[in-house]
Amino acid sequence: MDSQHPSAAPASRPAEAAPHSETTLRVDGKPHTLTVDHRRVLLDLLREDLGLVGAKKGCDHGQCGACTVLVDGRRVNSCLQLAVALDGSEITTVEGLGTDGEELHPLQRSFLERDAFQCGYCTPGQICSAVGALAEAASGHPSHVTDPAAPSGEPVPLDRAEIRERMSGNLCRCGAYPRIADAIEDVIP
Amino acid sequence: MTGTDTVLGAPAERREGREKVTGAARYAAEYDHPGRALAWPVPATVARGRVTGVDARPALELPGVLAVLTHENAPRLGEPDDPALSVLQDPRVPHRGWFVALVVAETLEAARDGAAAVRVLYEAEEHHVTLSAADPEAYVPETANGGYPAVTEHGDPDGAFAAAPVRLECAYRVPPLHNHPMEPHTTTARWDDGLLTVHTSSQGTSAVRAELVRLFGLPEDRVTVLAEHVGGGFGSKGTPRCDVVLAAMAARHTGRPVTLALPRRALPAVVGHRATTLHQLRLGADAEGRISALTHEVTTYSSRVREFVEQAAVPARVMYAAPDSLTRHRLVRLDVPTPSWMRAPGEAPGMFALESALDELACATGVDPVELRVRNEPETEPDSGRPFSSRHLVECLREGARRFGWAGRDPRPRSGAAGPLLVGTGVAAATYPVLVSPCVASARALPDGSFLVRVNATDIGTGARTVCAQVAADALGVPPERVRIEIGDSRIGFAPMAGGSAGTASWGWAVHEACVRLTRKLAGHTGGLPEEGLAAGADTSDAAGAKSPWSRHAFGAHFAEVAVDTVTGEVRVTRLLGVFAAGRILNPRTARSQLVGGMTMGLGMALTEGSTMDPAFGDFVESDLASYHVPAHADVASVEAYWVEEDDPHLNPMGSKGIGEIGIVGSAAAVGNAVHHATGVRFRELPLTPDRVLTGLLDHAHPPGTLGV
């Protein structure tokens, strides 16, 4: 192989040369129509295109949960979702959880009250994941620790073990887990 | 009423909490300057050798790729303090994963594709990446990390050991461990008219600026380093890492602002890690468990890039009275990534070994492990003979035992069987030195009745903003709501990093001084304040830099309860309880979070965290969060942290010791000791994963040769 390389970098070809498609998403209630690089994941669309940096990039591989957002009400690792495949979806990020931009979501409030974070980098993902987990339990989704004898399709009561199990896709290296479980318990009706 | 009882010591909420829970807090990658480009590194794929050619054309032909930096075209750098920052300066490859190129592009996708397209040719050399205590190239360095002498010896440890009625000789191994803060190492850099500004994920902007000044040959006032929010560090961001250098080079090369966020899988090779430590411990004692001879010998490694010696034998110099003792560090230089600080370097692995050995001594002598530690309390620091400024280890052990319900414990191994589970409990002690560094701060009284306090602290999740404001409010005698605080900006002035559990002590001391001076100035001022207010500054170089005649350490005790599944070999920590003596606790709310966090990392060290150096490829096998298992929610059942009141006048004006690291010290040993109590099997190598535990249980039930396999 030739080990020489040009002394001056050539002008780059425009990034638009990569395959793109028009995609429409509703993000935190607002519609956005963008021409999206097919390789772009939802996380990068939120952070790079819309400037919504609440969802964090911890691993980019679906291993840490810091990028968790809600797609049509269900929690997902946004680093694993190709944005172009989400045309027409309703996305909720941590920025969109509060009611009118001023009022905090009850989970945001309980995270503050319980000191359920330290560095804060996993926090938006933890909060979005908790919103999703509460909804899943309410609509009867069992988890690994749910009693197999529990009636199918009925709301699953969330004890500490259920909360911990359901939140295990969201890593926190600061070790705020006990406080996060406290904060989630606080908002269980 | 204001003053110490209601301001300092109050459980104040984090000042930046609202920003963090709403997603408004900005981290280093989140400064979207116009025209910003994104960068992606290319790691070396050989463990040792040199780059013989880089073909950047396939990358440059991709849409959106702006530039490929290699050692052939990257800006030339000055001499850094840390040789690991000499990136893209020469063709040398000192270890696998070392960056050999950097691709800069319009988008992340283009940068990543470009990095995959760069063709690099190497001349590979034979590599040596496996640590062995018998390595003929092992040597005794002069000092270990922290500046400690590598060797200390008192009396005749060999003779005393030979003469001791009870003799214990054991070897322990702690594997490589990775810091893995949730935010990868990230920098956004831009140049404006020769001025370099970086937003970087670092534990301290002063150290970053000093290195950038050296590397780019700039006067100090032309470099600004900002770290408003930092997504954890745990030592791996204590000094600048290559991300900040590469981002600044790329920005200079392309004339664009550049963000480089290191990919997660790249971190283990380039941001430092805790090196393997091999421990040889010898304890000689009388029948009542009083230690007469103590030897702790540690063999560890560093890279070819620089010498770093995990000071794992150092805590043995502080913990127990042993008239005859030897501690020694040995080092082997390997073709591996450069190890560095990870939460409680030295103490964390060292106390796993020492506190496991103490438990073995308790078993050998039949003395209760809490009592054994009390029995070996020294009157002065064993190594230096200096008096302790305060030492409340016994109180921590007693208080922990009371809270945990230690009394009446059946000491016999396997006495806690419950169906297929074996339940056991264990204890271990903790220690961490009190460190403090010089710092500057300023305080300004403004006409509207508010105060502006500036100190170049960094909040990596500790609550630095909050506690520094509390220190200021306390010294000013005003409610903390009237104090505004600015941190994380190199322009504020010199400050040490958030590390060594010394942040609050160092920053707080300077803040306290500045506020005390301002109070005096205000007392002498008549009439209204001028528009710009009235200001005072402080520089604690003399006071905080002075050597103390006291031996100053925090202490603690961990109690663990485990359930070991005899069918799967899985260990669950059902309870972890720590009691600490760390001087005055300035904010119980954030302090408890930090202590619990440290204990949780210790739980990971005990059960799940461990990295493997592949001998063939010279690479860490577990390099991402899917393979390197940090504790998850389900692993953490009950972790409680408490403290005993400690009034120590020999520390700093706040009376505080550090709390960032002691939580991880000893916690893994408490878990390991509990596993021994549960199973009767002593595991001397971490982590206690099911494969290891199940093998141990089988060997225990069926000694070799009896199972017919």
* Tally of CB atoms within 10 A around B318: 20
Question: Are A110 and A183 in the same domain?
Answer: yes
Query: Quick check: is A48 in a domain?
Result: yes
CA distances B373 to B145, B286, B290, B291, B413, Å, are 27, 14, 9, 10, 19
Percent of chain B with pLDDT over 70: 98
The pLDDT assigned to B128 comes to 98
For chain B, say whether A114 makes contact (Cβ under 8 Å).
Answer: no
Contacts of A1 in chain B (CB under 8 A): 53, 55, 119, 121
Q: Which of A96, A127, A150 is the last residue of a domain?
A: A96
- In whole angstroms, what is the distance from residue B475 CA to residue B519 CA? 8
Rg value, chain B, Cα: 26
Contacts of B57 in chain A (CB under 8 A): 5-6
Rg value, chain A, Cα: 20
Total residues belonging to chain B: 709
Average pLDDT over residues B570-588: 98
Question: Are A130 and A157 in the same domain?
Answer: yes
Query: Quick check: is A6 in a domain?
Result: no
CA distances B121 to B39, B49, B70, B103, B118, Å, are 21, 10, 12, 17, 10
SS3 A16: helix
Average pLDDT over residues B546-570: 97
pLDDT tens digit sequence for A104-149: 999 999 999 999 999 999 999 999 999 999 999 999 999 999 999 9
Mean pLDDT computed over every residue of chain A = 92
Query: Quick check: is A13 in a domain?
Result: no
B18, B22, B38, B624: which to substitute to probe chain A, counting the most A Cβ within 10 Å? B22
For chain B, say whether A50 makes contact (Cβ under 8 Å).
Answer: no
Partner residue opposite A127 with nearest CB, options B21, B65, B626 = B21
Question: Are A77 and A115 in the same domain?
Answer: no
Report long-range pairs for B193-198 (Cβ below 8 Å, ≥24 apart). B194/B218, B194/B222, B195/B222, B195/B223, B195/B224, B196/B222, B196/B223, B196/B224, B196/B248, B196/B251, B197/B223, B197/B224, B197/B226, B198/B223, B198/B224, B198/B225, B198/B226, B198/B244, B198/B247, B198/B248
* Tally of CB atoms within 10 A around A72: 12
pLDDT tens digit sequence for B346-369: 999 999 999 999 999 999 999 999
Fold of B17-25+439-539: Aldehyde Oxidoreductase; domain 4 (3.30.365)
Contacts of A102 in chain B (CB under 8 A): none
Min Cα distance A12 → chain B (Å) is 5
**In contact, B489 and B456? CB cutoff 8 Å:** yes
Question: Residue ranges of the domains in chain B?
Answer: 17-25+439-539, 37-126+180-270, 143-176+274-434+549-701
Q: Which of B310, B381, B609, B661 is catalytic?
A: B661
SS3 B458: coil
The pLDDT assigned to B701 comes to 79
Min Cα distance B250 → chain A (Å) is 13
Q: Is B155 exposed, middle or buried (0-12, 13-18, 19+ CB in 10 A)?
A: middle
| CB-based contact A178 B636, cutoff 8 Å | yes
Partner residue opposite B107 with nearest CB, options A15, A64, A168 = A15
SS3 B451: strand
Name the CATH code of domain B143-176+274-434+549-701 (choices 3.30.365.10, 3.30.230.10, 3.40.50.1860, 3.40.50.1820): 3.30.365.10
Query: Quick check: is A127 in a domain?
Result: yes
Q: Which of A96, A125, A151 is the last residue of a domain?
A: A96
Q: Which amino acid is at B248?
A: A
Bridge partners for B43 per DSSP = B99
pLDDT tens digit sequence for B489-510: 999 999 999 999 999 999 999 9
pLDDT exceeds 70 at position B680: yes
Question: Are A90 and A138 in the same domain?
Answer: no
CATH number of the domain at A117, please: 1.10.150.120
Query: Quick check: is A89 in a domain?
Result: yes
The pLDDT assigned to B699 comes to 87
Contacts of B55 in chain A (CB under 8 A): 1-3, 5
The pLDDT assigned to B287 comes to 97
Partner residue opposite A175 with nearest CB, options B60, B113, B596 = B596
**In contact, B324 and B293? CB cutoff 8 Å:** yes
Q: Is A102 exposed, middle or buried (0-12, 13-18, 19+ CB in 10 A)?
A: exposed
pLDDT-derived band at B629, boundaries 50, 70, 90: very high
pLDDT exceeds 90 at position B57: yes
For chain B, say whether A108 makes contact (Cβ under 8 Å).
Answer: yes
pLDDT exceeds 90 at position B338: yes
Total residues belonging to chain A: 189
φ, ψ (nearest 5 deg) of residue B456: -85, 50
Q: Which domain holds residue A45?
A: 19-96
* Tally of CB atoms within 10 A around B171: 13
| CB-based contact B634 A53, cutoff 8 Å | no
pLDDT tens digit sequence for B300-310: 999 999 999 99
Question: Are A113 and A165 in the same domain?
Answer: yes
**Peptide bond before B687: cis, by omega within 30 degrees of 0?**
yes
Percent of chain B with pLDDT over 90: 96
Residue B443: half-sphere exposure toward Cβ, Cα within 13 Å: 32
SS3 B288: coil
- In this structure, is the dihedral angle defined by the CA atoms of residues B692, B698, B700 and B703, taken in order, positive or negative? negative
pLDDT exceeds 80 at position A13: no
- Of B413, B337, B296, which is closest to residue B99 (Cα–Cα)? B337
pLDDT: which is higher, B546 or B580: B580
| CB-based contact B631 A177, cutoff 8 Å | yes
pLDDT-derived band at B106, boundaries 50, 70, 90: very high
Min Cα distance A154 → chain B (Å) is 23
Interface predicted TM-score of the whole assembly (ipTM), two decimals: 0.97
**In contact, B48 and B118? CB cutoff 8 Å:** no
Partner residue opposite B52 with nearest CB, options A3, A61, A171 = A3
Give the helix ranges, DSSP H, for B132-204: 157-163
Query: Quick check: is A9 in a domain?
Result: no
Strands (E), B519-660: 534-539, 551-565, 571-581, 613-614, 619-620, 639-643
pLDDT exceeds 60 at position A15: no
| CB-based contact A51 B32, cutoff 8 Å | yes
Q: Which of A44, A75, A96 is the last residue of a domain?
A: A96
Active site residue B486: no
Question: Are A71 and A118 in the same domain?
Answer: no
Partner residue opposite A164 with nearest CB, options B54, B624, B634 = B634
The pLDDT assigned to B545 comes to 86
CATH number of the domain at A86, please: 3.10.20.30
| CB-based contact B231 A53, cutoff 8 Å | no
pLDDT tens digit sequence for B446-472: 999 999 999 999 999 999 999 999 999
Average pLDDT over residues B250-275: 98
For chain B, say whether A85 makes contact (Cβ under 8 Å).
Answer: no
Q: Estimate to the nearest angstrom the gap between the alpha carbon of B663 and the chain centroid.
A: 11
- In whole angstroms, what is the distance from residue B204 CA to residue B32 CA? 22
CA distances B318 to B90, B382, B387, B615, B665, Å, are 44, 6, 11, 36, 14
pLDDT tens digit sequence for B7-37: 999 999 999 999 999 999 999 999 988 999 9
Q: Kindly state the tokens that stand for A127.
A: 């909060």
pLDDT-derived band at A100, boundaries 50, 70, 90: low
Min Cα distance B159 → chain A (Å) is 45
Contacts of B62 in chain A (CB under 8 A): 13
B13, B21, B630: which to substitute to probe chain A, counting the most A Cβ within 10 Å? B21
Query: Quick check: is A84 in a domain?
Result: yes
| CB-based contact B63 A18, cutoff 8 Å | yes
pTM: 0.96
Contacts of A8 (CB under 8 A, 6+ apart): none
- Cβ–Cβ pairs < 8 A, chains A and B: 239
pLDDT tens digit sequence for B123-139: 999 999 999 999 999 99
Average pLDDT over residues B620-643: 97
Average pLDDT over residues B545-551: 93
For chain B, say whether A179 makes contact (Cβ under 8 Å).
Answer: yes
- In whole angstroms, what is the distance from residue B300 CA to residue B273 CA? 12
CA angle B344, B350, B356 (to 5 degrees): 125
pLDDT exceeds 80 at position A9: no
Name the CATH code of domain B37-126+180-270 (choices 3.40.50.300, 3.30.365.10, 3.40.50.720, 3.65.10.10): 3.30.365.10
Contacts of B109 in chain A (CB under 8 A): 18, 37, 39-40, 44
Contacts of A96 (CB under 8 A, 6+ apart): A27, A28, A29
Min Cα distance B641 → chain A (Å) is 11
CA angle B323, B328, B333 (to 5 degrees): 175
Min Cα distance A103 → chain B (Å) is 10
- Of B340, B290, B269, which is closest to residue B310 (Cα–Cα)? B340
SS3 B254: helix
Domain total for chain A?
2
pLDDT-derived band at A17, boundaries 50, 70, 90: confident
The pLDDT assigned to A101 comes to 59
| CB-based contact B624 A178, cutoff 8 Å | no
Contacts of B494 (CB under 8 A, 6+ apart): B206, B438, B439, B440, B456
Average pLDDT over residues B213-226: 98
Query: Quick check: is A171 in a domain?
Result: yes
